[in-house]
A and B are shown apart, each in its own frame.
Chain A
C-alpha cells in the first residue's frame, strides 16, 4: 500500500472523529442534523476510499447506503419530523459543553491506548481505523447519555453506528459487511419511523425523573 493511500484513509477516519466532537456541542436540533449529515458524508467518502484501495467493489454498496440513506434521507426525514411534531428546537443537555468535551477527549485517549496496544500484529491501516472507529463509537455513546432529547439520542446512536461501519470496512476483507450495513440501516429506519409513529412527544417536552417513575409504575 502506498503512503498516499494510507494518508487519505487516515485523514478521512480522523475527520470522522473530529465531526463527532462537533456533534457533541451542538445545542440546536437543526444544526445537529446538519453536522450529522456531514458525518455520514465523511463516512461515505471513507468507505468509498476503502473500497478503492482494497479493490473491494462490494464496499461501494455500503458507501452508497451511507451517502443516500444516512447523509440525505435520514436527516431530511428527521428535519420534517421535528417540524411536524413541533418539538423544541433546543437540546437539553445533562452536562455542560466543557465537561462533555473533556469526557470526549478522555474517551478518545482511552480508545487509542486500548486499540493501539492490543493490535500490534494487525496492519497499520486497520489498526488506526479500529482506533478511530472505537473513538467514534465511544463518542456516540457519550452523546447518547448527555442528551435528554430523543432526537439527540438517535443522532448519537447513528453516529455510533457510523463508527461501526468504519470499523467493519477498515477490517480488510471482512465478509458480510454489506449485509450487516443493510441490517443496520433497517434498524435505523425503524428507529426514525418509531419516533414518528410512537409520537413520543411528551418525552420531548418533559423528561423529568418523576414522570419516568410514573411510567414505570413504581409510584402510583
Chain B
C-alpha cells in the first residue's frame, strides 16, 4: 500500500503512541505530542485536495473529510492546551511522570481510534475502532485514581460496553439483511457496497438493526436516557480529555449513526430514522437543559450542556432536509470548537482555584480577567447568543423546523431558552461578584481557547461562500 493521506492520519498517531510510550521526559513527549497532532492535521487537510479511492477497509468522502479535519484540528489545539495543563498537574503532584507518559501515549491511541472510526469503510472495522476509543477514554478518565475518578471510569466502562455490544448486534443484523443480496464475502460489510445495494435489503431486518445501532451508538453520543456515564466521565477525567470527549468522541459516535441513517434512507421500505432521532434529540435537549440548574461542579455542568447540544444536533439530523442537515453540521462544528474552548478555560480555572466546585469560585473577571472573560465569551457562544456561530446554526434550525413541524419547534425553542437561562444563572456567580477562592496567577496558554472562540465568532459574523457551499454539499450527502 502506498502512503497516502488516509494512512497518514492512521499511521502518525500509532507511531507517535509507540514513541511516547517509551520516552520518559515529559517536556519532550508533550512537545512530540503536539508535533504528531500537527502532522496528523496536515494530512487530514490534504484530504480536501487529493483522496485515495475507496477500498474494502478505508474510505474518504466529503462527509468524513469534514469530520476528520474537525477531529484532527481540535486534537491539535487540545494537545497545545494539555502542554501547560499537564505541566501544572505534575507540579502539584496530581499526576506522576509514569502516568504522564501513559497519558500522552493514550492520547495518540485515542486520536488513532477516532480517525479509524471515521475513515472506516467497513462497518465491522468501524465498530472495533469505536470500541478501542471507548477503552482508551476509560483509562484516561480513571487516570487520577481518586475514588470518584475510578467510580466514573467504571460506570463509563460498563455503560459504554453495553452500548457497543448492542451496536455489534445491530451490525450483525445489517449483515443478515445484506447477505441474501450481496452474498457471503467481505463486501457484505463494506459501507459503500451496502449503500449501493440497500434498496434490495429486507426492510424489516434493517429497521431492527437500526434500533439496536441507535441504542448502541446513541449511548456513546450521550443521548438521554442513555447518558448516565457522560457527566461523571467529563467531571472526573483530566480536562484535556473532557475537551476531546465533548468536542470529538461524541461526534464520532454520531457519525457512525449518520452512516447507518444514510443506509436506511437508501431503502424505500425501511422505517424513517428521523422520528426516532428527533424524539431522542428533543428528550436530551429538554432534560439536559433542566439539569443545568442545580449543578455544583463546573465540569459536570458543561457536560450536561454537551448532552443538550448533542440532542440539538441529533434533532437536526432527524428532521433532515438540506436546511436542517446544514444546520446540524454547522452546529456540530461550532459546538466542538466552543465546548473545547470552554473546557480549556475551565481546566485552568479549576487549577487556579484548586477545586471544581462552583460555590468556591467567584469574581473571576476581577482576579483573572483573561480566563474570566474567555469563559464568559465561551458561555455566550454556547448559549446561542448572536453574533456567534452557534446562534446562526440554532437560528437556521429553528426557522427550518418552524416551517415543517411547528409543534416540535416550540419544544426546541423552549429547551434552548431553559438551557440558556440555566447556564447564565450558574456562570454569573463564577465570573462576577465577590472574588472567592485562591487568586494566584494562572500559568495558562490562552492561544487554543481564543483561536477556537475567534473561529466561532468569525463564522457567526461572516461565513465564506466556499465554506457554505462545502457544508451544503455535505448536507446533500446525508439525504
Residues of A within 8 A of B (CB): 114-115, 117-122, 126, 130, 133-134, 137, 141, 144, 150, 153, 157, 160-161, 164, 167-168, 171-176, 179-180, 183-184, 186-187, 190-191, 194, 198-200, 202-203, 212, 215-218, 220
Closest to A183 in B: B128
**Is the beta-carbon distance between A190 and B158 smaller than 8 angstroms?**
no
B153 close to chain A: CB less than 8 A:
yes
**Is the beta-carbon distance between B165 and A160 smaller than 8 angstroms?**
yes
Known: A183-B131, A215-B151. A176 touches B125 (CB 8 A): yes
Segment among B93-101, B168-176, B249-257, B455-463 that sits at the interface with chain A:
B168-176
B188 close to chain A: CB less than 8 A:
yes
B343 close to chain A: CB less than 8 A:
no
Nearest CB on B from A181, distance (A)? 10
What's the Cα separation between A200 and B147 when bound, in Å?
8
Nearest CB on A from B414, distance (A)? 25
List the A side residues contacting B297 at CB < 8 Å. 217
Segment among B202-210, B320-328, B421-429, B446-454 that sits at the interface with chain A:
B202-210
What's the Cα separation between A187 and B125 when bound, in Å?
15
**Is the beta-carbon distance between A176 and B165 smaller than 8 angstroms?**
no
7 tightest Cβ-Cβ pairs between the two chains A and B: A173-B184, A176-B124, A215-B151, A118-B204, A217-B297, A175-B186, A198-B150
A180-B124, A187-B131 are known contacts; what are 11 more A-B pairs with Cβ within 8 Å?
Answer: A120-B202, A171-B175, A175-B188, A176-B186, A184-B131, A184-B168, A186-B135, A187-B161, A194-B153, A200-B150, A217-B148
**Is the beta-carbon distance between A198 and B153 smaller than 8 angstroms?**
yes
Greatest chain B CB density within 10 A among A198, A199, A218 is at: A198
Closest to A161 in B: B165
Closest to B148 in A: A215
**Is the beta-carbon distance between A164 and B205 smaller than 8 angstroms?**
no
**Is the beta-carbon distance between B300 and A217 smaller than 8 angstroms?**
yes
List the A side residues contacting B357 at CB < 8 Å. 220
**Is the beta-carbon distance between B161 and A217 smaller than 8 angstroms?**
no
Closest to B166 in A: A137
**Is the beta-carbon distance between A174 and B151 smaller than 8 angstroms?**
no
Nearest CB on A from B19, distance (A)? 23
Chain B 136-167, CB within 8 Å of chain A: the 1/0 string? 00100010000110111110011001100110
What's the Cα separation between A144 and B158 when bound, in Å?
9
B122 close to chain A: CB less than 8 A:
yes
Closest to B208 in A: A118
B391 close to chain A: CB less than 8 A:
no
**Is the beta-carbon distance between A220 and B128 smaller than 8 angstroms?**
no
List the A side residues contacting B180 at CB < 8 Å. 121-122
**Is the beta-carbon distance between A217 and B235 smaller than 8 angstroms?**
yes
List the A side residues contacting B165 at CB < 8 Å. 137, 157, 160-161, 164
Nearest CB on B from A9, distance (A)? 16
List the B side residues contacting A164 at CB < 8 Å. 165, 168-169, 172
List the A side residues contacting B157 at CB < 8 Å. 190-191, 194
List the B side residues contacting A220 at CB < 8 Å. 296, 357
B2 close to chain A: CB less than 8 A:
no
List the B side residues contacting A180 at CB < 8 Å. 124, 127-128, 168
What's the Cα separation between A196 and B158 when bound, in Å?
15
**Is the beta-carbon distance between B169 and A200 smaller than 8 angstroms?**
no
Nearest CB on A from B186, distance (A)? 5
Contact of B151 among A130, A168, A176, A200 (CB under 8 A): A200
Closest to A163 in B: B169
Nearest CB on A from B168, distance (A)? 5
**Is the beta-carbon distance between A175 and B202 smaller than 8 angstroms?**
no
B179 close to chain A: CB less than 8 A:
yes
List the B side residues contacting A184 at CB < 8 Å. 131, 168
Contact of A144 among B162, B189, B208, B232 (CB under 8 A): B162
Closest to A117 in B: B204
What's the Cα separation between A171 and B184 when bound, in Å?
10
List the A side residues contacting B169 at CB < 8 Å. 133-134, 137, 164, 167
**Is the beta-carbon distance between A114 and B208 smaller than 8 angstroms?**
yes
What's the Cα separation between A120 and B158 when bound, in Å?
34
Contact of A119 among B148, B153, B205 (CB under 8 A): B205
What's the Cα separation between A144 and B168 when bound, in Å?
18
Greatest chain A CB density within 10 A among B127, B142, B168, B207 is at: B168
Closest to B147 in A: A215
List the A side residues contacting B154 at CB < 8 Å. 150, 194, 198, 200, 203
What's the Cα separation between A173 and B162 when bound, in Å?
25
Nearest CB on B from A42, distance (A)? 19
List the B side residues contacting A186 at CB < 8 Å. 135
Greatest chain B CB density within 10 A among A114, A161, A202, A215 is at: A215
**Is the beta-carbon distance between B161 and A157 smaller than 8 angstroms?**
yes
- Give residues of chain B (84-139) contacting chain A, Cβ–Cβ below 8 Å: 122, 124-125, 127-128, 131-132, 135, 138
**Is the beta-carbon distance between B204 and A191 smaller than 8 angstroms?**
no
26 example contacts (A-B, Cβ-Cβ < 8 A) are as follows A117-B204, A118-B208, A119-B204, A130-B176, A133-B169, A137-B165, A137-B166, A141-B162, A144-B158, A150-B154, A157-B161, A164-B169, A167-B172, A173-B185, A173-B188, A176-B125, A176-B189, A179-B128, A180-B127, A190-B135, A191-B157, A198-B142, A200-B150, A203-B151, A215-B148, A220-B296
